[in-house]
């Protein structure tokens, strides 16, 4: 019994660490300026089937980006979209292109106009609107 509990806790702990790392993914509305080198990897999208906030589903988008070894999402858009029955409800949807940023010395996610998933969740603002 104790052995099963410890295994369960270790799996939970390792999952939490992975999720926390993915919250450092850089979200950029649009594309970075020409002085930032980056490579697009894959289009990604995540939508919730019911009511909710964009902040609620951002960790899912971050995990998808992390799964393809991206450290950023460019052309990021998070919005409320109409579902199948538009007169009944809207649902949150986030999308963008997973990308690998190659930041030079001194460049950070914030300095190139982005914000981490963690910052967007905490402030509930679009990446380009977060004041530092």
The four Cα atoms 62, 67, 72, 76 give a dihedral, to 10 degrees, of -50
- Examine the pLDDT at 47 and tell me if it is beyond 80: yes
Report the Cα 112 to chain-centroid distance in Å. Answer: 17
Quote the domain boundaries for residue 35: 2-129
pLDDT tier for residue 22 given thresholds of 50, 70 and 90: confident
pLDDT tier for residue 86 given thresholds of 50, 70 and 90: low
- Examine the pLDDT at 19 and tell me if it is beyond 70: no
Count: domains in the chain: 1
CATH value at residue 113: 3.30.110.70
């Amino acid at each position: 019994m104790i052995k099963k509990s410890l295994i369960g806790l270790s799996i939970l702990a390792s999952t939490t660490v992975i999720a926390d790392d993915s919250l450092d993914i850089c979200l950029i509305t649009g594309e970075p300026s020409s002085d930032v080198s980056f490579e697009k990897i894959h289009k990604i999208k995540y939508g919730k089937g019911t009511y909710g906030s964009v902040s609620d589903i951002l960790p899912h988008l971050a995990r998808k980006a992390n799964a393809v070894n991206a450290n950023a999402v460019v052309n990021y858009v998070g919005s409320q979209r109409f579902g199948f029955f538009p007169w009944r409800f809207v649902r949150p949807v986030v999308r963008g292109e997973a990308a690998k940023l190659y930041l030079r010395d001194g460049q950070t996610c914030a300095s190139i106009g982005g914000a981490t998933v963690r910052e967007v969740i905490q402030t509930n603002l679009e990446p380009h609107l977060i004041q530092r």
